[in-house]
């Protein structure tokens, strides 16, 4: 089945610096890749997503890139702010196995932005 690996597990940056989180997936038929931000005691919140027919997508300080050949996708946060501190999860949606749109999540990255 689909497997998603995420690195690094923890990331500490200074306010204003950029942060990059990388994920790889195993199922080449996966076609949808969302990124979620999870704050303590809350459910995951979608921050950006990308579909397999697109190589890059940007929304203000957040961007995602997808390399289908290498089966890699990355989250880039520029000009980080303390409120960006949270756990970030990547996910992939495999195509096989029927009608479900289930997501396979990575293990998460704890981002700490130091003021």
Partner 1 sequence: GAGVSQSPRYKVAKRGQDVALRCDPISGHVSLFWYQQALGQGPEFLTYFQNEAQLDKSGLPSDRFFAERPEGSVSTLKIQRTQQEDSAVYLCASSLGAVGVKGDTQYFGPGTRLTVL
Chain residues in the site for partner 1 (CB under 8 A): 4, 6, 32, 34, 36, 41-46, 49, 51, 89, 91, 93, 97-108
> Shortest Cβ distance from residue 13 to partner 1 (Å)?
21
* Shortest distance in whole angstroms from residue 45 CB to partner 1: 7
Closest separation in Å from C-beta 63 to partner 1: 18
Selection from 44, 46, 81, 45 nearest residue 61 by Cα = 81
Enumerate residues 6+ apart whose C-beta is below 8 A from 63: 48, 56, 57, 75, 76, 78
């Amino acid at each position: 089945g689909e497997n998603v690996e995420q690195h690094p597990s923890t990331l500490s940056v200074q306010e204003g610096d950029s942060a990059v989180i990388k994920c790889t997936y195993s199922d080449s038929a996966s076609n949808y890749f969302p990124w979620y931000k999870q704050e303590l005691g809350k459910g995951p919140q979608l921050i950006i997503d990308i579909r397999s027919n697109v190589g890059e997508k940007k929304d203000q300080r957040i961007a995602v890139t997808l390399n289908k050949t290498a089966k890699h996708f990355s989250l880039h946060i520029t000009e980080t702010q303390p409120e960006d501190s949270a756990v970030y999860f990547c996910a992939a949606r495999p195509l096989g196995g029927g009608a479900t749109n289930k997501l396979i999540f990575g293990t998460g990255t704890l981002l700490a932005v130091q003021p």
